[in-house]
Structures are given as structure tokens and as C-alpha cells.
Amino acid sequence: MNVAQKSQDQITPDFSTFDSIFRPKAVAIIGASNKEGSFGRLFLEGIIKAGYSPIYPIHLREKELMGLKAYASIKDVPVPIDLALLMVPYSEALKIVRECVEKEVRGVVLFTSGFGEKGEEGKQAERELAKIVAGSRTRLIGPNCNGLYSPAVKLVSLPGSLITGGVTTEAGTLSVVSQSGSLNDFLVQTLTRKNIRFNKTVSTGNECDLHAEDFLEYYGSDPNTTLIAGYLEGIKDGKRFYQLAKEISKKKPIIIWKGGMTEAGARSAVAHTGALAGSSVIWETMFKQAGIINPNSFEEMVDCILAFSWTGIPKGRRIAILSSMGGTNIGTTDNCIRAGLEMAKLTDQTKERLNQLLPGAGTSASNPLDVGVGGMMNPKVFAEGMKIITEDENVDMLMLVADPDAPLSIPSIIEAIPSIKKPVTVSIFDMLDLTESHYRKFLEHRIPVFHEPKRAVAALAKMCEYADYLKQYK
Amino acid sequence: MNVAQKSQDQITPDFSTFDSIFRPKAVAIIGASNKEGSFGRLFLEGIIKAGYSPIYPIHLREKELMGLKAYASIKDVPVPIDLALLMVPYSEALKIVRECVEKEVRGVVLFTSGFGEKGEEGKQAERELAKIVAGSRTRLIGPNCNGLYSPAVKLVSLPGSLITGGVTTEAGTLSVVSQSGSLNDFLVQTLTRKNIRFNKTVSTGNECDLHAEDFLEYYGSDPNTTLIAGYLEGIKDGKRFYQLAKEISKKKPIIIWKGGMTEAGARSAVAHTGALAGSSVIWETMFKQAGIINPNSFEEMVDCILAFSWTGIPKGRRIAILSSMGGTNIGTTDNCIRAGLEMAKLTDQTKERLNQLLPGAGTSASNPLDVGVGGMMNPKVFAEGMKIITEDENVDMLMLVADPDAPLSIPSIIEAIPSIKKPVTVSIFDMLDLTESHYRKFLEHRIPVFHEPKRAVAALAKMCEYADYLKQYK
């Protein structure tokens, strides 16, 4: 079945190829090596260590690699292979992909670079690759990619994640498709450390066969995926992508960082994955109409993923701010307004309750709320203030700015948040040793936390945009 | 001498009042206390611990506080007092300021809040305070502030800094004026941990006597201050501020975050320090014409301070990007263009040198430069690449995106940077345990480092704006 040619009207697509790719019964590694310091060894070692089994290393001469029996060719392997990872020289790539097709491997990941991103010769080779797999039982990911991550089966082929060992085989519900391999890798490493768990991730590179759209469709129908994130440079079938995203985003948020939105960025995208990046206006319009959340940097993408993973969508744009820092409250109010949020007008009843909670001087029972020194001296003030404010019918969401000087307030804030029914984000300034452990504590408790209020504002504003998109379909 | 009424034409202002405030020969603490858990105790204890001497605690009944002889009134102290810190109830404030005037104290810091920010009665009290000090030898800072930090004389009166102990008495060349006390405090705590050292900082609160403008003027003429940063909500004498800033910024960069730039933000500024924030268009025009660098969040302010402290000003807007991450390179190129930078066009000679350095596949010898897996496998590639690129005559500045998966490259990058004559910034993603020690290492070596490329771009773009301002006067 050629997924790329599938009709949009098909109601129940056959996703067995993708199931074989992400939950393979057997994996071959072609280009595996024993040689110290080689990429083939690093990979083989890392993949074994991550825990996937059974692995079949392929090596022309060696009979055994890292304790596993090696085969001279994939065609010699005595069992069916669902997934083959190819770390082979450019000159060998076509021949070996052909062998994979003959072996009826379901998915081939071609890590090798130097194809379309280098010029016309490489583009021609990509067209050859597409022809080799066309009509066969084999689908190709890449070239110029770095593979996938499927924690449920302990499969990790991301080089950075293998080297630094910062990945887990605990599965979550976030799935990622990235045209950049390194970005896929860094997203896994960053978010894993921030306590986000993945369901599946893949980097698609130059996309000579399987495209980002194909994975978007698969994730859309995947019951284990509740949130989709992606990094794109260009899309081969824009219309299909748009139609898919428009439908999927009604059920699952889609967060996409698009590289190559300026002319200079688009030129470098060609050198990176050979993608034609297209006009930024078209992309922005498309994102808006398809309900796609569109951060414009790595950090903003990470921030959006934290917010969408761990809080509900706000019902409206009315935000309340609670902190012990008058100055940043004013600037944060500015940033809320600039981002299209509204400052919630607290009811008289809420103000009265807050005035009872707070010592009179140095605080102002309004929004933004500055609990002043009172918050530093009494660890319960933040937690109580949060409860009072979020019970106000005029408040849709709350941004708490935690006080690094009031460490005793952190446990009571963490304890209070789960019982609050409205979205709450926390900000805490990056003061290295003073705040690192607090920052981690919030992440451990799955509370969206940011190193400054402005970043929380940006993520909340994206949630509001998404809420508006959903309202059209209610 | 009334500084606020000083003429702009005065060439050599008498700054002796400010010298007495920041380098006092003796300090009195009025409102000091023995009582466990009280603010007066926390302060006294913290100030003693920070190392300033001699301190004269004032207490109505106690004869001794924390081992120091206490006096019932400041008028009983047998030596002249340069600086008095007042942590007294609102109802006592006027009386005690009067006593300070009688004692001819040079500077009085009135921490007490509940004045103009609370309404008309408080405003009236502020006018009384101004009258009390008018024409006397005494100048007043505050009310509703948290004092100052003058490391050269081991004087720290910032409550957060005293509690968390993260301040040093090592002096640097950055001086700060902030209308918000907490912001002053957090800036000191954050930047100290990032290896920036201060010369002087002050929070001016409601400014019933001394204004932010006065400190701006003082810092402008202060030979120990090379960089000025500030947080403002409103300015009493806008024309004077503008004229001062326009002159000072020709010699020293001035970085100002302005709160209350939106209507909602301006409303909350009134509740915070009673300031009238004014129209954002007027402020933005003024900042531009006076050569003031204008970040719009705490993090951006901190980022600008790192960049202005540790790199030279770029000669032009042509930037080069070096990383091992193709994906973020494209998006970062977008963010450079959006911020008004230009992508440098590398000469053929540079490209040839880069091609010799880099393995052929997976990299593209252009700008942005992706050193790919080569950078991960060979720790010298980043350092060599940086040298080659910055030797290109078409490159004004370099942004390096460090690879968290290539920790061995970090020492050679750190070693290479000091010999590079053009501005270099480093970005490294915030991957918690994986990157925290690298991040610290860059800070230790006074290399401007950011948790993502977009933040480096923002800081560099501000430097370019400042360079353009300076060009007018060459």
C-alpha cells in the first residue's frame, strides 16, 4: 500500500506498515561495527543498551558483533525483519535498500546523508530510491535522518540520546515528527529530562518516500498519541497536510515549529534537507486555519509542549497573576496584553477574601496580585491566594510567579495546584543553584514551569488560540 | 543642594550626597529588632553578616541588639551618620525622618510602604516627607523601596539577597537603579549567580525626594560604573531623564526595562509605586532617540546585561551561525532576520577552509554552518570552525550553538573564544543535568551564554541598535 497516494476519503487507513516500524518484531542494523569510536559501534552498543531485542547486525566480514551473531547480508537473516537501520556509505545505499526490498523489510531507515541536500546528483539518487521501494512491501524513511524512538518497545536510534543516555523506555502520549534529525534528538533529550514522556518520534530527513504528512496521519489515528509535535522545513503535499491537520487538530493539539519562514532561512533549509520552504504568509494562514499551534523557537516549542501536556485548555482569555514581585508583575501585565490575553477583573468578594489573607501594607488586592513580603514570611500565602483567585468566576487561568526567596512556599504551592480546576502555570527565575531544585520539583509534579513569566504568557496565549479554534466546531 | 533642581548645564555636579549614601562612614538601622522571625531582625542580622561596619541599631527599649550597642533615638548616636535605613511603621515614618534631618543624616532609606501607592492620604504624606527634607542636608530614598547594594563597602540591604545569601562583596562595574525593590533584589541575586559583579544598585520606590533620574546622573559620572541598568515605571521629570540618558549613553550603555507600557500595565503601576506610566509610543521614541537599550522582560534584561558586559559591540549586522544542529539553524536564521540581523556571506576562501575542516557528508560549508556529526566526533571542530569563520571579513559577529551531546568540545570552545576579536555568544539548550555544568563553565569564563539561540539573537540585535546610535556621534 502506498500511503502517500492514499485518498483523503479513506476512513480506516491500513497503518500496519507504521505499526511494524514503531513496534518491530525484529530489527537489522546494517553498517553496525566493532570498531572503537565508529558511528556503527556507537549505534549498535547504544541500541543494545536501550533494551530492544531481537537485533540482527549485518557486517560483510565479522561473524559476531557485541555478542550478537552477525550476518553478511540482510538476505541471510533467517527470520522476517520489520525494521532495518542503515548506517551505510552513500555509494552503497541503493544496493542495500534493494536487498531490504527483496527481504520484504517493512521499514527502512536510511541515515546516510549527501543526497538531495547536496545537489542534483543526490536528488536523482533519491528518485532512484523512491522507485526501488515503489509498489513493494517496503517503505523508506530518510535519507539524511536519524531514525526513531519508540519507548514502548525500548527502541532508540537517536545518536545523541544514545550517547548521553538521558532517555527512558517509559512511554507517554506525545508523538513527534521532525524533518531534522538533530532536532528530534534534542527534543527527546530535553523533554525527557523535563518529565515529558513520548509515545513515538521519528525524523524524516529528505523524505524521498515516507513524508511528514504520513506520520501526521498515523499519529492522528493512533489511540496512544494525545499530543503531536513537529519540526518542518517544507511539505511535499501541502493540501493533504492541511486537510489532515485540520481534522486531527479537532481532537489532538498539533504543535509545529516551522523552519525557513524567512528568505534566508528558506535558503538554508534547501542545504539542510533539500526542502522548499515556501512563503511565510501561506504557512501562517495555513497554521491558523488548520488549528496548528506555531511556536517560533525551540524553547517556545518545549514550553508549549509542557503547557499542553499538563494543564487543561483555558475557557477564555482572562488571566490572573499572583506573585511577590511588584516590578515583574507590571511588565508581565504588559506582556499578557501584548500576547492578546486580558487581565481578569476580580469580584469584590475575591478582593475581600484576599484582603483578609494579606497583610495590609506592601500588597494590593487587585490583579496582578502582589503578596509582597507577606508571601515571604508566611509559606501558605501563595497557596491560599491561588485558591481564592481561581475560585473567582472572572478568572480563566492563573499565572503564579514563585518567589525564589520563599522556598518554604514551594511545597504548599505544589500541593495546592492539583485541586485547582483552572489552568495554572508557574514561573521561577533561573537563579542557578537557588532555583534549580524548585524548578525540578514543579516538573516532577507535572506542573508547567517556565524560567520567566513572559514564556508562560506565550504558552498560555497559544492555548487560548487553540481554544478559539476548537470553539468553531462546538 | 537639591539634586532634583540642579540645572542641566552644571558641568561638575556635587555628588557628595550619593558618595555618602553608597560609601557611608556609619549606618543606622531604625526598626532593628531582636525578635525571632521579625523583619527588623532579619535585616540587622543580614547586614551584619554581609560585613558592613560600623552599624548603629536604633531601638526604643533594648540596650543591645545582636551584640551591638543600641540607641533609643538616632539623635543619641554619638557619631555622624551618613546613611539611615528605616524599617518603621507607617505612622512613625514622618517623625523619624524628621529626627534624621535633625541629626543631619546624609541619606535616609524609607522601606515603609502604604504611601502614594495606596491613595490620596499616602500621597499627602509623601508631600510632607519631601517638605521635611527640602533644603536640609538630608536626602530621602523611597518610601516603598528596599534599599541598596554597595559591594565595595560590604553594604547589602536587599531582603531576598540577605535571606538567600547569594550576594558577594566583590565589586564590578554594573550599576542599577530600579523603581521596584523586588526587581532590584532579584536582579542582584540572578546576575551575581551568573558571574556579573555590581558596583552599586538602588531601588527608589515611590520617589518622594530622590528620583531615578538623580541616580542615572550619578552613575553617568561615576568612574566605577561602565554599564547602567534600570527598571522604571514612570519618570517625574521626563525631559531631564531624556537629556541625561542621551549624553550618558554616548559613553556607557543604558539598559532599561520599562513596566506599564500597556494600559493595563500602567494601571497596575499606579498600585505598585504610584507612578504614572505614560504612553508607550512616547517611551519607545524616547528610548530610541536617547540610545537606551530596551528589553521587555526580566530574562531579556539579564541576557542584554550578559552580552553588554562580556563582548564588544559588533561593527555591523552580519552574523554567522555555527552549530551541529541543522534544524535549529534554519529556525535561528529566521529569528536573526526577524530581529533585523543579516546572514553573513562567507568568502570563497572561508568556505574552502571550512570544507577542509569538515567531513564532506552531513555538513554544508555555508552560513548557517552545520558541522553535523563531525562536531560530535571531533572535539576540535567547533573551536577551529569559530576561528575560520570570525577571520572572514564579511562576518561581524558569531553565534555558536554548543552541542550538549559533544561535551568534549566545550573546553576547546572556551579556550578559543578569548583570542577571537569579534563578538561571540554561545547558546546551549536547557537540558538540566546534561547542560547545567556547561552553562556554568561559560559563565565562569565570562562568555555570554543563553539557553536558546533566539535569546542570543535578541541580545545581539540590541547591541547592533546601540552601535547604530553611537555611529551618529562619530
The domains located in chain A, with CATH, are 3-307 (3.40.50.261), 312-471 (3.40.50.261)
Put simply, whether A186 touches B (Cβ < 8 Å) is: yes
Chain B residues with CB under 8 Å of A193 CB are: 431-434
Burial (0-12, 13-18, 19+ Cβ within 10 Å), B67:
exposed
Which of B264, B370, B372 has its CB closest to that of A337? B264
pLDDT of B341 over the 70 cut: yes
Band the pLDDT of B447: cuts 50, 70, 90. Answer: very high
Q: Model pTM?
A: 0.95
Strands A155-156 and A148-150: antiparallel
On average, the pLDDT of chain B sits at 92
**Nearest by Cα to A301 from A228, A365, A352:** A228
A9-28: per-residue pLDDT in tens? 333 346 899 999 999 999 99
Q: Residues A306, A194: contact at Cβ < 8 Å?
A: yes
Residues of B in contact with A432 (CB under 8 A): 193-194, 436, 440
* Cβ contact, residue pair A431, B190, below 8 Å: yes
**Cβ contact A268:A260 at 8 Å:** yes
Q: What pairs with residue B231 in β-bridges? A: B178, B257
Q: Closest Cα of chain A to B292: distance in Å?
A: 17
B143/B111 Cα distance (integer angstroms)? 6
- The closest alpha carbon to B133, from B100, B170, B93, B182, belongs to B100
Whether the per-residue pLDDT at A375 is higher than 80: the answer is no
Chain B residues touching residue A260 (CB < 8 angstroms): 330, 334
| pLDDT of A3 strictly over 60 | no
**A178 vs B: CB within 8 A:** yes
Task: Check if the beta carbon of residue B151 is closer than 8 Å to that of residue B171.
Answer: yes
Find residue A138's DSSP bridge partners: none
Output the pLDDT for position A14: 64
Looking at the partner chain, which of B164, B193, B263 has a beta carbon nearest the beta carbon of A405? Answer: B164
Nearest C-alpha in B relative to A204: B327
Cell of A411: 511545597
The confidence score (pLDDT) of residue A359 equals: 67
User: What one-letter code names the amino acid at A371?
Assistant: V
Is residue B154 within 8 A of residue B178, CB to CB? The reply is no
Give tens-digit pLDDT for B165-210: 878 999 999 999 999 999 999 999 999 999 999 999 999 999 999 9
Residue A379 at interface with chain B, using a CB cutoff of 8 Å: no
User: A167 falls in which pLDDT band (50, 70, 90)?
Assistant: confident
Cβ of residue B276 closer than 8 Å to a chain A Cβ: no
Instruction: List helix spans (H) across B358-408.
Output: 372-377, 381-390
Across the range A282-306, mean pLDDT stands at 96
Predicted pLDDT of residue A6: 42
pLDDT at A323 over 60: yes
Smallest Cβ–Cβ distance between A299 and the set B117, B297, B452 belongs to B452
> How near does any CA of chain A get to the CA of B336, in Å?
9
Q: Min CA distance, A163 vs chain B (Å)?
A: 7
Q: Show which of residues 386-405 on chain B sit within 8 Å of chain A, judged by CB atoms.
A: 403-405
Give B217-236 pLDDT, tens digit per residue.
Answer: 999 999 999 999 999 999 98
Provide Rg for chain A, Cα atoms: 25
Nearest-angstrom CA–CA distance, A145 and B412: 28
Q: Are B275 and B260 in contact (CB under 8 A)?
A: yes
**b/e per residue, A288-313, with b = 16+ CB within 10 A?**
eebbbbbbbbbbbbbbbbbbbbbbeb
pLDDT value, residue A272: 80
